[in-house]
Amino acid sequence: MTTARRKKSEPELPFWKTKSLAEMNPQEWESLCDGCGKCCLIGLEDADTGEIYLTDVACKQLDNTTCRCKDYPNRKKIVPDCIRLTAKNVPRYKWIPKTCAYRLISEGRDLFWWHHLVSGDRDTVHQANVSVRGKTRPEGRLKVQGLMKRITKWPAPLEAAPVKRKRVAKKAVSKTTSGKKAKT
């Protein structure tokens, strides 16, 4: 006779691994945004191929220093064509960046190391070269020809967290040239 061993209770999985976008509550949904700002860039679509080319020109409401919308709660009033992502429309929009957490979850993929829900740090999205912080210019009167000149090859995200350099504590050296200790 054999007896089945009791399995140790496994750690609870985080919500983005167990829920679909449609199942997330408003807090979970909002926390999924990594703050990269890429969805606030102006993109150009190739009419023949459907390919989207991102520029470095951002919506006038994107704060270039924080990489956040200047007035997120009122964004639709200020910028009527700002699109509110939903569980339904995320799979339809090709322009959503490949690194966007909503896109990743809707495609059944996991979040990357630099996502703040994984790293525990809101800064890793910037450290990983994913965000557009400090790299955009506000939209002005540029027409398509002008925008085409602003098409930007955004860098690929770092695959792993950069190794932190250890600070080497420098020994205090007394200012004597003879090797004698300075008198205090």
Of 9-17, 32-40, 142-150, 164-172, which segment contacts ligand SF4 by CB under 6 A?
A: 32-40
User: Interface residues for ligand SF4 in 98-137 (CB under 6 A)?
Assistant: 100-102
Distance CA 122, CA 100 (A): 15
Of 37 and 157, which has the nearer Cβ to ligand SF4? 37
Among 43, 105, 30, 134, smallest CA distance to 73 is for 30
Taking the complex as a whole, the smallest distance from the CB of residue 98 to ligand SF4 amounts, in Å, to: 10
Both tokens of 29, joined, read 């949904």
Of 57 and 59, which has the nearer Cβ to ligand SF4? 59
Of 81 and 159, which has the nearer Cβ to ligand SF4? 81
DSSP conformation class of 179: S
Taking the complex as a whole, the smallest distance from the CB of residue 114 to ligand SF4 amounts, in Å, to: 11
CA distances from residue 128 to 33, 43, 98, 119 in whole angstroms, order as listed:
15, 22, 15, 11
Distance CA 119, CA 65 (A): 21
Binding-site ranges for ligand SF4 (CB under 6 A) = 33-40, 59, 61-62, 69, 75, 79, 82, 85, 97, 100-102
